[in-house]
Amino acid sequence: MSISLWQLNTLSKEMFVGQIGGVFERSPWVAEKAWEARPFHSVNELHEAMLAVVRQAPEEQVTELFRAHPDLATRMTMTSYSSAEQQGAGLHELSPDEFKRFAQLNAAYAAQFGFPFIMAVRGRTKADLLAAMQQRLQHSAVQERRQALLEIQRITQLRLIDLIEE
């Protein structure tokens, strides 16, 4: 399902959020606040407005955005966006040993940082993801919050490009 940028700009707040509220994982508040910056002249401008909402949000709300993301290779219910992205990385076809390793790293990461490991998985392999998880467990909390925001920026940009026709 796609929508033109022109159409998106003409929507009520409720309809706007209905169209793009899921781009930031289970965080429609980002789209609700970004709606106020309409009209957008490009997908990039919309994306920047949405990122500005996140950057201006209280730290606790940003942490909730982080926590809205699913673990990698989870068997729990995910949004359609996350499910498709993880399938594309082969995370739906893990061996029992691979699944166990992802579960261990997910648990270690969440225990250390207080939110799930977040990474733009499109174009990545299982091996890429495992290596990144191991490396990022060496980060400080400040480094990892910064990295999580960068990954969310990549994820949401790709989602908006897929969703909106310019």
pLDDT band of residue 160 (cuts 50, 70, 90) is very high
Model-level pTM greater than 0.85? yes
**pLDDT tens across 15-74, in order?**
999 999 999 999 999 999 999 999 999 999 999 999 999 999 999 999 999 999 988 877
Domains of the chain: 3-165 (1.10.3330.10)
Phi, psi for residue 67 in degrees, rounded to 5 = -70, -15
| Helix (H), strand (E) at residue 24 | none
What is the model's pLDDT at position 41?
Answer: 97
Establish whether 139 is a catalytic residue: no
Phi, psi for residue 26 in degrees, rounded to 5 = 50, 35
Q: Which of 91, 83, 78, 76 is nearest to 128 (CA)?
A: 91
Sign, CA torsion 87/90/94/100: negative
Q: Which of 41, 47, 69, 139 is catalytic?
A: 69
**pLDDT tens across 85-133, in order?**
777 667 778 888 988 999 999 999 999 999 999 999 999 999 999 999 9
Are residues 84 and 92 in contact, defined by beta-carbon separation less than 8 angstroms? no
